[in-house]
Amino acid sequence: MSTSAYGAYGGRYVPETLIPALDELEQGWREALADDAFHAELNGLLTTYAGRPTPLTLSERFAPGKRIYLKREDLLHTGAHKLNNALGQIVLAQRLGKRRIVAETGAGQHGVATATVCAKFGLECVVYMGEEDIRRQKPNVERMGLLGAEVRPVDFGTKTLKEATSEAIRDWITNVETTHYLIGSCVGPAPYPELVAELQSVIGREAREQHLAAAGRLPEAVVAAVGGGSNAIGIFHRFLDDADVRLVGVEAAGAASLGTGRTGVLHGARSSVLADEDGQIADAHSISAGLDYPGVGPEHAFLRDEGRAMYVGATDEEALLAFRDLARTEGIIPALEPAHALARARELDAELILVCLSGRGDKDLAEALSGLEKLA
């Protein structure tokens, strides 16, 4: 078996056709990591184009009695943490000589980030998106079109992120010589989970330093939403060695791959997945398109088993209320994904908490307002 950094999880469960491309990617990635020019180019883009570092905001009214620091990835260009990964991978794709990019998207944030970097670098961009997600994340579909990307609807199966990911991988298998697959989360075959985690770990590196400066100490807990898990792994990484800091991942209750899943193989990796006893992948359900995914990055499954991170769920209703309350108490409209993290953070038995506010909620207004109306 190929070696994995994540115990029994991870690996490369993909058709043989892709193995040479994964080898090439892995080698290109190792070379990039060792190359100062790569870091200089990426850091330049993160600073002058994306808007890093993002601020840390103390929220005092959202959860009375607690001090919750929000890591403001919603203020990043394109409105979510996804751009950290897209910029890193596009610089890498350039080094590999790939001129065509394919990606999958659920909430549309990764699709927008990918379309954005392709526009900036003049590359062809194809984004696969489920028809159900196209319906509920319309503003992002329009943004991708404006940015020059081709959005290909996926009209079978769940019509959400799971099928969009399968179709993006099928496209990659077919066009592997010319194409880089710009995966949006810390999922997929090796080296993707590790690569995406590294590119997103800028969130935690900044947040840890900012938190120390602002609060004079480390947080008691770090809380982040988990779909595929890239913003969570990005903020967790720098805290892994801080044994006193609890790491809490919040899944959508209807898509709790870590909470209620079993070991399975999906989209190229062995991880914890929602599947039936025969290994058939189950449908996930969440109001948040970004969390509506039956798989999760293998590193999260590993951190769960090791006991280093804990994973809990939040319901659609709890996320909607947190979405509304953050808007009313702090003047910040969060995306529905981090609204799940906020819902659990405000009930956590801790006072000093760092939350990854992974994206802004403009894209979710229609869905969230209609959901809130039903609650009323």
Partner 1 sequence: MKKLVIYLMAEPETPELARAAVEGGADIVELGFPFSDPLADGPVIRRAAERALARGMRTRECLGVLERTHALVPDTPLVPMTYSSLLEAYGWARFAQDVESAGGASMIVADLPVDERPELRRVQLVAPTSTDERIALAGAHTGGWLYLVTVAGTTGARAEVSSALPQLVERARRLVSVPLYAGFGISTPEHARSVASLADGIVVGSRALQVAEEGPAALRGYVASLRAAIDG
Which residues are annotated as catalytic?
82, 104, 358
| 260 contacts partner 1 (rule: CB under 8 A) | no
CB closer to partner 1 out of 263 and 329: 263
User: Using CA atoms, how far apart are residues 270 and 24, in angstroms rounded to an integer?
Assistant: 21
**Is residue 99 involved in binding partner 1 (CB under 8 A)?**
no
- Provide the pairing of β-strand 67-72 with 56-59: antiparallel
Among 219, 268, 359, 371, binds partner 1 (CB under 8 A): 268
Which of 263, 329, 350, 352 touches partner 1 by CB under 8 A? 263
Pairing of strands 269-273, 262-266: antiparallel
Beta carbon of residue 23, minimum distance to partner 1 (angstroms, whole number): 8
Please state, in angstroms and rounded to a whole number, the distance separating the CA atoms of residues 167 and 75. Answer: 31
**Residue 324 engages partner 1 in binding (rule: CB under 8 A):** no
Peptide bond into 191 cis (omega under 30): yes
Q: What type of residue sits at position 176?
A: V
Residue 271 CB, shortest distance to partner 1, in Å, is: 10
- Tell me the closest approach of the beta carbon of residue 152 to partner 1, in angstroms: 14
Sketch the per residue contact string, 14 through 33, with partner 1: x for CB under 8 A, - otherwise. Answer: xxxxxxxx------------
Binding residues among 162-221 for partner 1 as defined by CB under 8 A: 162-163, 166, 169-170, 173-177
Tell me the site size for partner 1, rule CB under 8 A.
41
Secondary structure (H, E, C), 249-295: EEEEHHHCCCCCCEEEEECCEEEEECECCCCCECCCCCCCCCCCCCC
Q: 135 in helix, strand or coil? A: helix
Q: How far is the CB of 14 from partner 1 (least distance, A)?
A: 6
Give dist(CA 291, CA 124) in Å, integer. 27
Binding site for partner 1 (CB under 8 A): 1-2, 11-21, 156-157, 162-163, 166, 169-170, 173-177, 262-268, 270, 273, 275-281
